[in-house]
């Protein structure tokens, strides 16, 4: 019997990776790293790691007779039986590095300094512009195809009288307002836009944040003067007035590396005293404000209070299905 | 008797290692509070870990598929499947890649194994290029990100497909051998583990053991790539970078390609980032970002270095860059 130190070392690295990911799921810190949509695949990753760990255990002890010796000079594909050298030490240190930082340093939430790096106001004005364009195209489309214009109204009534096919579908997949599966059909999108218009106050809940954002910037005029309730962190950028800031949120598609910034330009007299990265819950009215030649929704904040950073600090983009 | 002894020894080792792992973790908890670093380091660490945690399952799946290929597919199969004609082989590989839902991290170990099994380098590259670029999830996310506009999503797929064929063709003219690092070819992998007489459990055990080796080979490059990408995101302002574009199409194409390279985003997520630049830059440069990013980026270059000769990787990055840039200079008039 021979004990292979390196094989044991590899086994423990595999195990530590698995434990690290399990720990992230257990403590909920995983929310600070990836979109919960990928929870399942990440758990699958843990299972593979554990299976590999068990397979690797078999190699820790070998009988003398089946001793591997793969020290041949041209063998780059390392099986971990050859003796330790500097090169291997370096590569093992690299593999251990994320485990060290992962266990030793707490995951942080992206903050205003990252928002600045990403050019927050640029993203916000851009998405406003995109939404406006889309609305114009949609309007043009509706105009060109006259019969469709009545569709939304018919549908509101039709829905109540439940067309049989629709009913079947919704029985099988009840509408899931879950944050991680917020995909809507175009019909539903139109429906939600209509519903939102009827409400006196717009609530920017996390699950509908990006959706409401799109609806508001597509029909900015209709929402002027409307009341809005939302939360976010304070972000200030050069070029904004002293009483202005962005009440910002990060959107995560996959992982925090692809985070984008969204949020509303806000106006508040006490803004000067507010530190960046302070989380606020705010109530205000929507106004239209021009910024770099683009009309943006701006919130005139009337009521606000400081809050703790949210448990789930990020929001996730909604999707609209093709048909 | 000996076997029982060995298996209980293995169980025992497993328990010891588990205990050791728990010990390491609990001792790290107490260290946690003692460490005090600037916030930007914590940010960078978070981005680094998130790229890694996100990529890890995909790499693991890729590694296991590579293990399956290693054990169950023989050189003879490959010879029969790949067309003799070079161009046909390239087109076939690009089509297979288009139907294979992979991401750019997971595909590298698979391509490595295929090429080691005798798939010509140009066909491997075709597969490597279209795998992450063209698949249903990418089409859908691109469609959504650009305000439900099918034009960008379709252009991305179609232009990407032809660019991939062109690149693979150029590679086929320049390189004859498999370009794998010395020692990665199948023949030099000294042990004989795929004789047909072996039992299925033995084969599966071999798949797993191979996967472990592959994971350690590839893992370190993935980690370096993730670390570099995290560094760039924390300390370099993409907003300011974008502001340096002077509105000229050529320079903005170059700028967006540079951005795609250093950001190292997953192909399923990059469309949302691209969309945030869509009014600052001309459409051609946005498309260049969307086509170039999945083909090659910082993280991916590191992973390719774990497989191919450095000279090949450098040439490959150069060819991809030139061809993508050239293509979008030519097609810019269409947008």
Q: Is B256 on the interface with A (CB under 8 A)?
A: no
Q: How confident is the model at residue B23 (pLDDT cuts 50, 70, 90)?
A: confident
Residue B245 resides in a domain? yes
The residue range of the domain holding A13 is: 2-104
Does B27 or B88 have the greater pLDDT score? B88
Torsion of CA A28, A210, A249, B41, to 10 degrees: 60
Interchain pair B149, A30: CB under 8 A: no
The residue range of the domain holding B251 is: 40-334
Considering only CA atoms, which of A1, A18, A2, A11 is closest in space to residue A56?
A11
pLDDT in tens, A240-284: 888 888 999 998 877 888 888 888 989 888 888 888 889 999 999
Residue B5 resides in a domain? no
How many whole angstroms separate alpha carbon A139 and alpha carbon A134? 8
Question: Residue B48 above 70 pLDDT?
Answer: yes
Q: Is A273 exposed, middle or buried (0-12, 13-18, 19+ CB in 10 A)?
A: exposed
Residue B253 resides in a domain? yes
How many whole angstroms separate alpha carbon B263 and alpha carbon A285? 37
How many whole angstroms separate alpha carbon B208 and alpha carbon A4? 18
Unique residue bearing structure tokens 């992450």 = B132
How many folded domains does chain A comprise?
2
Q: Which of A76, A104, A132 is the last residue of a domain?
A: A104
Q: Is A254 on the interface with B (CB under 8 A)?
A: yes
Interchain pair A74, B188: CB under 8 A: yes
Q: How confident is the model at residue B325 (pLDDT cuts 50, 70, 90)?
A: very high
pLDDT at B316: 93
Closest partner residue to A10 among B6, B39, B212, by Cβ? B212
Q: How confident is the model at residue B317 (pLDDT cuts 50, 70, 90)?
A: very high
Interchain pair B39, A111: CB under 8 A: yes
Residue B160 resides in a domain? yes
Interchain pair A254, B32: CB under 8 A: no
Instruction: Give yes or no for a contact between A248 and A263, defined as CB atoms under 8 angstroms apart.
Output: yes
Residue B54 resides in a domain? yes
Interchain pair A34, B32: CB under 8 A: no
Q: Is B44 on the interface with A (CB under 8 A)?
A: no
Which H/E stretch holds residue B66? helix B39-72
Interchain pair B53, A56: CB under 8 A: no
Minimal-distance CA residue of chain B relative to A131: B147
Check whether residue A52 and residue A198 sit in a common domain. Answer: no
pLDDT at A53: 93
pTM: 0.79
Which H/E stretch holds residue B146? none
pLDDT in tens, B126-156: 999 998 888 777 887 788 777 667 888 889 9
Q: Is the dihedral of CA A137, A139, A144, A149 positive or negative?
A: positive
Check whether residue A223 and residue A285 sit in a common domain. Answer: yes
Check whether residue A153 and residue A272 sit in a common domain. Answer: yes
Q: How confident is the model at residue A323 (pLDDT cuts 50, 70, 90)?
A: very low
Closest partner residue to A253 among B220, B237, B269, by Cβ? B269
Q: How confident is the model at residue A144 (pLDDT cuts 50, 70, 90)?
A: low
The overall longest dimension of chain B from CA atoms, in Å, is 77
Residue B14 resides in a domain? no
Does B328 or A126 have the greater pLDDT score? B328
pLDDT in tens, B271-314: 877 877 776 678 888 899 999 988 998 888 988 888 899 999 99
pLDDT at A255: 80
Residue B7 resides in a domain? no
Q: Is the dihedral of CA B329, B331, B334, B335 positive or negative?
A: negative
How many whole angstroms separate alpha carbon A132 and alpha carbon A217? 7
Residues of B in contact with A136 (CB under 8 A): none
Report the phi/psi class of residue B118: left, alpha or beta, with left for phi > 0 and alpha for psi in -120 to 50: left
User: What is the ipTM score, two decimals?
Assistant: 0.79
Pairing of strands A227-235, A201-203: parallel
Does B178 or B254 have the greater pLDDT score? B254
How many folded domains does chain B comprise?
1
């Amino acid at each position: 019997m021979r004990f292979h130190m390196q094989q044991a070392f590899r086994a423990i690295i595999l195990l530590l990776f698995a434990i690290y990911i399990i720990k992230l799921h257990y403590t909920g810190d995983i929310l600070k790293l990836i979109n919960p949509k990928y929870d399942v695949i990440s758990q699958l990753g843990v299972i593979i790691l554990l299976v590999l760990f068990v397979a690797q255990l078999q190699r820790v002890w070998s009988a003398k007779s089946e001793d591997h010796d793969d020290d041949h000079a041209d063998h780059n594909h390392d099986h971990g039986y050859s003796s330790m050298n500097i090169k291997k030490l370096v590569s093992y240190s690299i593999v251990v590095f994320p485990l060290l930082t992962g266990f030793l340093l707490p995951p942080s939430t992206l903050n205003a300094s990252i928002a600045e790096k990403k050019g927050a106001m640029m993203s916000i004005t851009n998405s406003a512009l995109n939404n406006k364009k889309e609305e114009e195209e949609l309007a043009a489309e509706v105009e060109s195809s006259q019969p469709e214009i009545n569709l939304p109204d018919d549908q509101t009534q039709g829905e109540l009288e439940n067309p049989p096919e629709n009913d079947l579908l919704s029985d099988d997949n009840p509408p899931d307002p879950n944050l991680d599966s917020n995909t809507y059909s175009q019909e539903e999108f139109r429906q939600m836009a209509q519903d939102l218009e009827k409400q006196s106050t717009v609530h920017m809940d996390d699950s509908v944040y990006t959706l409401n954002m799109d609806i508001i910037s597509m029909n900015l005029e209709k929402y002027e003067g409307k009341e809005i309730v939302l939360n976010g962190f304070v972000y200030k950028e050069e070029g904004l007035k002293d009483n202005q800031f962005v009440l910002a949120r990060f959107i995560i598609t996959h992982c925090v590396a692809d985070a984008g910034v969204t949020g509303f330009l806000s106006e508040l007299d006490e803004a000067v005293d507010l530190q960046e990265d302070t989380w606020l819950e705010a109530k205000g009215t929507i106004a239209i404000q021009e910024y770099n030649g683009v009309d943006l929704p701006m919130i005139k904040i009337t009521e606000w209070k400081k809050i703790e950073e949210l448990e789930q600090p990020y929001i996730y983009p909604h999707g609209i299905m093709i048909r | 008797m000996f076997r029982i002894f060995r298996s209980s020894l293995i169980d025992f080792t497993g328990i010891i290692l588990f205990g050791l792992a728990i010990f390491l973790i609990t001792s790290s908890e107490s260290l946690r509070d003692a460490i005090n670093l600037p916030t930007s380091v914590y940010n960078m660490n978070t981005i680094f870990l998130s790229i890694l945690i996100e990529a890890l399952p995909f790499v693991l799946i890729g590694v296991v598929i590579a293990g399956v290929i290693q054990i169950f597919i023989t050189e003879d199969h490959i010879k029969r499947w790949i067309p003799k004609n070079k161009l046909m082989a390239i087109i076939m590989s690009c089509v297979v890649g288009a139907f294979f839902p992979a991401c750019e991290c997971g595909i590298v170990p698979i391509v490595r194994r295929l090429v080691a099994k005798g798939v010509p380098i140009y066909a491997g590259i075709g597969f490597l290029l279209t795998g992450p670029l063209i698949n249903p999830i990418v089409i859908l996310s691109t469609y959504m990100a650009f305000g439900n506009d099918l034009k960008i999503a379709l252009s991305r797929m179609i232009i990407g497909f032809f660019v991939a064929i062109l690149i693979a063709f150029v590679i086929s003219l320049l390189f004859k051998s498999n370009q794998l690092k010395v020692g990665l070819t199948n023949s030099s992998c000294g042990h004989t583990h795929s004789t047909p007489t072996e039992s299925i459990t033995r084969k599966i055990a071999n798949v797993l053991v191979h996967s472990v080796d592959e994971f350690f080979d590839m893992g370190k490059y993935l980690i370096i790539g993730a670390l570099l990408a995290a560094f760039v995101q924390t300390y370099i302002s993409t907003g300011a970078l974008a502001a340096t574009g002077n509105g000229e199409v050529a320079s903005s194409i170059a700028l967006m390609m540079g951005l795609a390279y250093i950001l190292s985003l997953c192909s399923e997520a990059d469309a949302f980032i691209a969309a945030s630049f869509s009014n600052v830059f001309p459409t051609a440069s946005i498309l260049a970002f969307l086509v170039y990013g999945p083909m090659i980026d910082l993280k991916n270059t590191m992973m390719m270095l774990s497989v191919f000769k450095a000279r090949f990787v450098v040439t490959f990055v150069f060819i991809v860059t030139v061809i993508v840039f050239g293509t979008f200079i030519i097609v810019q008039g269409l947008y």
